[in-house]
């Protein structure tokens, strides 16, 4: 028997699936114990269908999703169109029709995942999405299978390939922001709206999904604070280097005494930290847990073949489970009520970049402001001055989010100070 699949979309990722099915047939057949056939492919319109056919793609292209959803022979629907709608409607309809679904759509899963997982459970079908987090790194299945005996306490991740690629090219090779973004788009790394990549939104979606697998808690996307690489200035990069750090966009999810905290922000990483050497399109998930201790999972976070490999692995897993008659099992079974961390419990060292009058008493004024919030300085330096204004850089000892909010408000109220940036600093 052959298991038939229907692809929704035939862009960067979807067009990588045939490569794996063709180049790795023997192993895939052994694992799946069935043949897998791409029976139909949904494309946007007739022009796209003609373009793909002319390019030599010999698939049954359709332009109406009903041709896939109403086809009883198609058992698995693979959504690779991206964005929320119509993907949400199509996936919901597929699940309701008793079809198993594979997707890489983190936007959708982060925002509507509970509803879709509920539908999958109700209809006894599979909803798998390994590729939604860190592209080619098999992190979700690792968390739900291999970490089953362990308790994760913190997850730190370089979770967006596009922004990491851009930062690497800009910092190491002097590319402009525009050149780096254009190349990331050409290489198929970026989202259709790259704002999601550069503003930390895509990484925040991934943090939502990781929270479920690592901590069993479904945090709302709105509860994941996010800042992107567009906030980083060349001055920040230079001072980081001078102080022995590398700046990366890092997702940080941790369980404190009061609950879960998740955020995405540019972060100063000590050069010796394993995440500091994750460059280009590579992603990594660095985990702290009570059993294994520290471990890191590293690989390409975006790109056609790595992502298609994760998607195809999900398809194969479903086909095998159809054989074994265990297909209704949830992708992630770890679930407990959400409790959000109190801001007092979320502590980090911080970098402050402040423009201030270059005159006697400025440092004293700053020291008093920080001291009033019981924030202590770890490092302080004056970076540049035009005689009137100076750029002051402060790295603090560990402080809480509450202290951060308070001192930020005080700096704004003082009038003389312009707070250019505050980034988290990971301690040694």
Provide the token pair at 412.
Answer: 């704004």
Q: Is 80 in the site for ligand NDP (CB under 6 A)?
A: yes
Round to whole Å and give the CA distance between 167 and 173: 10
- The answer to whether 179 is a known ligand-binding residue is no
Round to whole Å and give the CA distance between 196 and 231: 14
**Listed ranges 42-50, 53-61, 119-127, 355-363: which one lies at the site for ligand NDP (CB under 6 A):** 42-50
Residue 42 interface partner, choices ligand HSE, ligand NDP, none, CB cut-off 5-8 Å depending on type: ligand NDP
Max alpha carbon distance in the chain (Å)? 83
Q: Is 246 in the site for ligand NDP (CB under 6 A)?
A: no
Q: How far is the CB of 19 from ligand HSE (least distance, A)?
A: 18
Q: Is 68 in the site for ligand NDP (CB under 6 A)?
A: no
Q: Is 81 in the site for ligand NDP (CB under 6 A)?
A: yes
Contact of 91 with 118, CB cutoff 8 Å: no
- Per CB under 6 A, the list member of 255, 266, 303, 309 interacting with ligand NDP is 303
Round to whole Å and give the CA distance between 401 and 422: 12
Round to whole Å and give the CA distance between 416 and 419: 10
Contact of 248 with 161, CB cutoff 8 Å: no
Residue 215 interface partner, choices ligand HSE, ligand NDP, none, CB cut-off 5-8 Å depending on type: none
Binders of ligand NDP in range 273-302 (CB under 6 A): 302
Closest to ligand HSE by CB, 103 vs 256, is 103
Q: How far is the CB of 105 from ligand NDP (least distance, A)?
A: 4
Q: How far is the CB of 318 from ligand NDP (least distance, A)?
A: 18
Q: How far is the CB of 281 from ligand HSE (least distance, A)?
A: 7
User: Which of 21, 9, 16 minimizes the C-alpha distance to 319?
Assistant: 21
Provide the token pair at 144.
Answer: 């739900």
Q: Is 86 in the site for ligand NDP (CB under 6 A)?
A: yes
Q: How many other C-beta atoms can be found within 10 angstroms of the C-beta atom of residue 212?
A: 24
Residue at token pair 């980090």: 348
Q: What is the CA 213 to chain-centroid distance, rounded?
A: 13
Bridge pairing between strands 74-79 and 100-103: parallel
Type and span of the H or E element at 298? strand 293-300
- Per CB under 6 A, the list member of 79, 130, 197, 199 interacting with ligand HSE is 197
Residue 166 interface partner, choices ligand HSE, ligand NDP, none, CB cut-off 5-8 Å depending on type: none
Q: Which residues of the shown chain bind ligand NDP in the complex (CB under 6 A)?
A: 9-14, 42-44, 80-82, 86, 104-106, 131, 135, 188-189, 191-192, 302-303, 307
Residue ranges of the binding site for NADPH:
106
């Amino acid at each position: 028997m052959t298991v038939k699949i229907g692809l929704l979309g035939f862009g960067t990722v979807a067009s990588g699936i045939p490569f794996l099915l063709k180049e790795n047939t023997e192993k895939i057949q052994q694992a799946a114990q069935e043949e897998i056939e791409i029976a139909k492919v949904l494309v946007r319109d007739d022009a796209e269908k003609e373009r793909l056919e002319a390019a030599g793609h010999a698939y049954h292209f359709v332009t109406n999703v009903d041709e896939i959803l109403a086809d009883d022979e198609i058992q698995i629907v693979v959504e690779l169109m991206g964005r929320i709608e119509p993907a949400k409607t199509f996936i919901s309809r597929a699940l309701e029709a008793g079809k198993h679904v594979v997707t890489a759509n983190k936007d959708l899963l982060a925002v509507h995942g509970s509803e879709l997982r509920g539908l999958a459970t109700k209809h006894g079908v599979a909803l798998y999405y390994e590729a939604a987090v860190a592209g080619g790194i098999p992190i979700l299945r690792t968390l739900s299978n291999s970490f089953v005996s362990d308790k994760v306490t913190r997850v730190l991740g370089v979770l967006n390939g596009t922004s990491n690629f851009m930062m690497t090219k800009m910092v190491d090779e002097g590319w402009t922001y525009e050149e780096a973004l254009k190349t990331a788009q050409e290489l198929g790394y970026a989202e259709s709206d790259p704002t999601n990549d550069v503003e930390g939104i895509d990484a925040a979606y991934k943090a939502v999904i990781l929270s479920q697998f690592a901590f069993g808690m479904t945090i709302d996307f709105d509860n994941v604070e996010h800042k992107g690489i567009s906030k980083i200035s060349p001055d920040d990069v230079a001072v980081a280097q001078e102080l022995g750090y590398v700046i990366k966009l890092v997702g940080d999810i941790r369980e404190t005494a009061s609950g879960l905290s998740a955020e995405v922000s540019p972060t100063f990483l000590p050069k010796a930290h394993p995440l500091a050497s994750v460059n280009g399109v590579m992603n990594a998930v660095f985990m702290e847990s009570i059993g294994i201790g520290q471990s890191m999972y590293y690989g390409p976070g975006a790109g056609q073949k790595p992502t298609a490999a994760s998607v195809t692995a999900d398809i194969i897993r479903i086909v095998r489970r159809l054989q074994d008659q265990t297909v209704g099992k949830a992708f992630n079974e770890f679930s407990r009520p959400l409790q959000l961390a109190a801001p007092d419990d979320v502590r980090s060292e911080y970098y402050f970049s402040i423009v201030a009058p270059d005159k006697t008493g400025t440092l004293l004024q700053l020291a008093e402001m920080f001291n009033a919030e019981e924030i202590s300085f770890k490092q302080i330096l004056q970076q540049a001055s035009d005689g009137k204004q100076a750029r002051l850089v402060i790295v603090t000892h560990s402080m809480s989010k509450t202290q951060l909010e308070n001192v930020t408000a005080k700096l704004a109220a003082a009038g003389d100070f312009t707070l250019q940036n505050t980034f988290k600093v990971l301690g040694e």
